[in-house]
Structure 1
Amino acid sequence: MILVLQGTSDGGMITQTLTGQGYRVVAIASTDYGRELAVQYGATLVENELPSETEVWLKQLGVRAVVDARHPFGEMTDDRLAQHCQAMDIIYLHIGRDEINITCHELVHPVNSMPEAAIKAAGLGKTIFLTTGSHDLEYFVALQKTHNIRLVVRVLPEHRVVKKCQDMGIHTRNIVAMQGPFSKQINKALFKMYRAAVVVTKDSGRAGGTDTKIEAALSLKIPVVIVKRPSVIARREYNWEEAVRVINRKLPFHGR
């Protein structure tokens, strides 16, 4: 059994490739959409999150390799899973994403956290276009009244996500429910349509569409606030194809 922690498109590619080769895969995805994709990709068991008794669970399932393809802004600083794998002699492969070479431009403003991004964005324009999803919305919502800003959020087209935004006081007309990543042209059209005065993003790499967001905003002369990645424990990183090759080499499937 192979465990794939999905959170990026790479995780989906790994699940789809391994199941196509005959491996049994259990997938963990935090969103409804991610779990739906995992089922489509052939995962035999799909969970919302790792159980508290992780080691017992891994042993019961007979997991022989773990592919950690969680989002760069997810649980990256939590190294307990890697430690469990090491103790149990389970192959642990961490999937990395190339970081964006943050443009040295007067309109690009790197920050270290979402609270800092909210304050910075509020000082740059009255209409903030938030492209970071539904997480950390509270920092921006809190500024709507105190700084008299308009907040536009782009989130996954899931009922619970849209409802969360509405429950936090974001009007439906300011909720863009779409599945990304998006091209420069689509980003540009949306920024113009909603009259964005400042764009907020995270450095999720090219695979996450960070480059096209920045390019689109700069082409419209809109300032961009970009949240840099958190510090992580140094470890070997693989792309999805390398991870599949490692599993094929160390755990060859003989049932084909």
Structure 2
Amino acid sequence: MFEIILFAGTSEGHRIADYLRQTAFKALILTATSYGKQLLLDSAGLTDESEMNSIEIRSGRLDQADIETLLRSESVPGALIIDATHPYAAAASENIRSACEVCERKYIRVLRNGLSNSPLVNSGSGTETTADETRASRLVFPDIPSAASYLNQTKGNVLVTTGSKELEAYTSITDYRTRLFARVLSLPSVVQKCSELGFEGKHLICMQGPFSRELNEAMIRHCQASYLVTKDTGVEGGFPEKEAAATVCNCTLIIISRPVSEEGISVETCIKKYLEFPGGLQL
């Protein structure tokens, strides 16, 4: 029976997982995909799951019912459930949170700081902001469809860095096949999906991020992009590097707001408050 169940999939989850393998906790780490599992091992400099000591890793998507079954059958009554999923994985977090309420397990949300904490940007639907004379203008939209609707009224190339999951929304742009360049993960299934949507050849960039400012800048110039579309991924997700590159290239930054407003704690607080002590869980 597990004392800790960690829903990973982000750099925050990787850091907590790396800490857990140095403890005596009986823990289970969950990633949505096998690729996410491999990234977790890579981040810890490991080649095999057996090097995780008392930690078990599983991959696969779970709905609320699946999570409830897992909590009831494989976690101790006082287990700590840590949600370190991506800030844009709203449905996943809601499933985890609801399952914990039903099964009466302690739920902890580990959440990276985002753009909403910056005084330089006012969130809103298509709200344009300018921090100073040297900073590129920024537009903030509540979701990808609304950003795509705006882009459909503009001219100029677009570098899209919001991933493949919602890429279909951009096909509403009249000339998307010639204007848009999608940067996605280099997975066969992702490439196939993008190709089916019409993103091929030089309009499809397959790489694993986050990226440096210099590389973002080079891509913007290569695509001759007038717009760079990004999610509010925070420092860990490479947002500052995208912002800096857009500024240098005089490229308008289009930001997709986080889907829900939620509260959470940092990795450091999670470790210090819940994991950094002898003799069991501090609840």
C-alpha RMSD of the superposition: 2.4
Q: Contact 1:154/1:176 (CA < 8 Å) preserved in 2? A: yes
Q: Are positions 1:48 and 2:60 aligned together? A: yes
8 Å contact kept, 1:28–1:50:
no
Aligned to 1:224: 253
Instruction: Map Cα deviations across residues 21-49 of structure 1 (whole Å, 9 max, x no partner).
Output: 23333222223321213455534131212
- Is 1:116 matched up with 2:138? no
Q: Is the 8 A contact 1:22 1:253 kept in 2?
A: no
TM-score (norm 2): 0.79
Aligned partners of 1:33, 1:239: CA distance in 2, in Å? 24
Task: Note if 1:29 corresponds to 2:59.
Answer: no
The residue identity in structure 1 corresponding to 2:8 is Q
Q: Is the 8 A contact 2:85 2:92 kept in 1?
A: no
Deviation at 1:66, TM superposition (A): 1.1
Hey, what's the Cα distance between the residues in 2 that align with 1:252 and 1:196? 55
Q: Report deviation, 1:148.
A: 7.0
- Residue in 1 aligned with 2:47? none
Contact 2:90-2:259 at 8 Å conserved across structures: no
Q: Which residue of 2 aligns with 1:184?
A: 213
Tell me the CA shift for residue 76 of structure 1. Answer: 5.6
Distance across 2 between alignment mates of 1:16 and 1:74: 22
Aligned partner of 1:127 among 157, 167, 174 = 157
CA contact (8 A) 1:133 1:155 kept: yes
Query: In 2, distance between residues paired with 1:59 and 1:150?
Result: 50
CA distance in 1, matches of 2:18, 2:141: 35
Q: Which runs of 5+ in 2 are unaligned?
A: 45-51, 122-128, 131-135
Q: 2:171 corresponds to which residue?
A: 141
Report the CA distance between 1:250 and its aligned residue: 7.4
**TM-score, normalization by structure 1:** 0.87
Distance 1:31 1:196 in 2: 31
1:247 aligns with 2:274: yes
Give the share of equivalent positions with the same residue, in percent: 25
Cα offset, 1:50, TM superposition: 2.0
Matched residue, 2:110? 95
Higher relative contact order (CA 8 A, sep 6+): 1
What is the aligned length?
251
CA deviation profile, 1:152-189 (whole Å, cap 9, x unmatched):
11111211111211121111321111111112111101
Q: Which residue of 1 aligns with 2:133?
A: none
